[in-house]
Structure 1
Amino acid sequence: MPTVTSDIERLHQYKRYGRVVGIQGLLVEVAGIQNSLSIGSRCLIHGRSGHQVQCEAVGFRNNRALMMPFGFLEGIGMGCKVVIVEDDPVVYPGDGWLGRVINAMGEPIDGKGPLPRGGEAYRLRAQPPPAHARQRVGEKEDLGIRAINTFLTCCRGQRMGIFSGSGVGKSILLSMLARYTKADISVIGLIGERGREVQEFIEDDLGEEGLKRSVVVVATSDESALMRRQAAYITMTTAEYFRDRDQDVLCLMDSVTRFAMAQREIGLSGGEPPASKGYTPTVFAELPKLLERAGPGTGQGSITGLFSVLVEGDDHNEPISDAVRGILDGHIVLERAIAERGRFPAINILRSVSRTMPHCNTDEENELVARARSLLAAYEDMSEMIRLGAYRMGSDTAVDEAIHYQPALEKFLTQEKSEPSDLAKGYDELAAILGQPAPENPGIVDGGEQ
Structure 2
Amino acid sequence: MAVWQALEQRVLTQLAQVNLCRRIGRLSSIQGMVLQATGLDVRLGELVDIRPARGGRVITAEVVGLRSEHTLLMPYGPVDGLSLASEVRARGEAYSVPVGESLLGRILDATCEPLDDLPAPLGLVRMPRFVAPINPLHRSPITTPLVTGVKAVDVFIPLGRGQRIGIFAGSGVGKSTLLGMMSQYAEADVIVIALIGERGREVGDFIRESLGPEGLKKAVIIAAAAEQPAVLRRQAAYTATTIAEWFRAQGKHVLLIMDSITRFALAQREIGLSTGEPMGSRGYTPSVFALLPPLMERAGALNGQGSITGVYTVLVEGDDMNEPVADHMRAILDGHIVLSRSVAARGHWPAIDVLHSISRLAGALRTSEQKTQVERLRSALGSYQNSVDLIELGAYEKGSQPLLDTMIELKPEFDALLQQTPQEHFSSPAAWQSVRQLTQRLAKGVVHAG
2:415 paired residue number: 410
2:33 paired residue number: 26
Q: Indicate conservation of the 8 Å contact 1:247/1:302, yes or no.
A: yes
Alignment of 1:327 onto 2:299: no
Structure 1: give runs of 5+ residues left out of the alignment: 1-7, 438-450
TM-score under structure 1 length normalisation:
0.92
Aligned ranges for residues 95-134 of structure 1 at < 5 Å?
95-119=101-125, 121-134=126-139
Q: Indicate conservation of the 8 Å contact 1:255/1:308, yes or no.
A: yes
2:67 paired residue number: 61
Which amino acid in the other structure matches residue 325 of structure 1?
Answer: R
Structure 2 residue matching 1:359: 3-state secondary structure: helix
Aligned ranges for residues 219-258 of structure 1 at < 5 Å?
219-258=224-263
CA distance in 1, matches of 2:15, 2:431: 53
Tell me which moved more, 427-436 or 261-270.
Answer: 427-436
Distance 1:223 1:418, change over 3 A: same
Which amino acid in the other structure matches residue 335 of structure 2?
Answer: G
Structure 2 residue matching 1:350: 3-state secondary structure: coil
Which amino acid in the other structure matches residue 21 of structure 1?
Answer: S
Aligned ranges for residues 44-443 of structure 1 at < 5 Å?
44-47=49-52, 48-119=54-125, 121-435=126-440
Which amino acid in the other structure matches residue 425 of structure 1?
Answer: A
* Alpha-carbon shift at residue 10 of structure 1 (Å): 13
Aligned ranges for residues 1-20 of structure 1 at < 5 Å?
16-20=23-27
Which amino acid in the other structure matches residue 91 of structure 1?
Answer: V
Deviations along 1:294-321, one digit per CA (max 9) or x if unpaired, are 1112423000010000000000010000
Structure 2 residue matching 1:200: 3-state secondary structure: helix
CA distance in 2, matches of 1:138, 1:242: 20
CA distance in 2, matches of 1:422, 1:258: 33
Q: Indicate conservation of the 8 Å contact 2:190/2:254, yes or no.
A: yes
CA distance in 2, matches of 1:53, 1:373: 56
Tell me which moved more, 124-133 or 214-223.
Answer: 124-133
CA RMSD of aligned residues (A): 1.8
Q: How many residues align?
A: 427
Which amino acid in the other structure matches residue 274 of structure 1?
Answer: M
Structure 2: give runs of 5+ residues left out of the alignment: 1-13, 443-450
Q: Quote the sequence identity (%).
A: 43
* Alpha-carbon shift at residue 325 of structure 1 (Å): 0.7
CA distance in 1, matches of 2:45, 2:92: 9
* Alpha-carbon shift at residue 90 of structure 1 (Å): 0.9
Q: Indicate conservation of the 8 Å contact 2:176/2:210, yes or no.
A: no
Distance 1:12 1:301, change over 3 A: farther
Which amino acid in the other structure matches residue 105 of structure 2?
Answer: G
Q: Indicate conservation of the 8 Å contact 1:37/1:87, yes or no.
A: no
Q: Indicate conservation of the 8 Å contact 2:168/2:339, yes or no.
A: yes
CA distance in 1, matches of 2:19, 2:325: 43
* Alpha-carbon shift at residue 435 of structure 1 (Å): 2.0
* Alpha-carbon shift at residue 91 of structure 1 (Å): 1.8
* Alpha-carbon shift at residue 49 of structure 1 (Å): 3.6
CA distance in 2, matches of 1:163, 1:122: 31
Which amino acid in the other structure matches residue 36 of structure 2?
Answer: E
**Greater Rg over alpha carbons, structure:** 2
Q: Indicate conservation of the 8 Å contact 2:143/2:365, yes or no.
A: no
CA distance in 2, matches of 1:113, 1:170: 32
TM-score under structure 2 length normalisation:
0.92
Tell me which moved more, 379-388 or 123-132.
Answer: 123-132
Which amino acid in the other structure matches residue 18 of structure 1?
Answer: G
Distance 1:335 1:212, change over 3 A: same
Tell me which moved more, 48-57 or 99-108.
Answer: 48-57
Structure 1 residue matching 2:254: 3-state secondary structure: strand
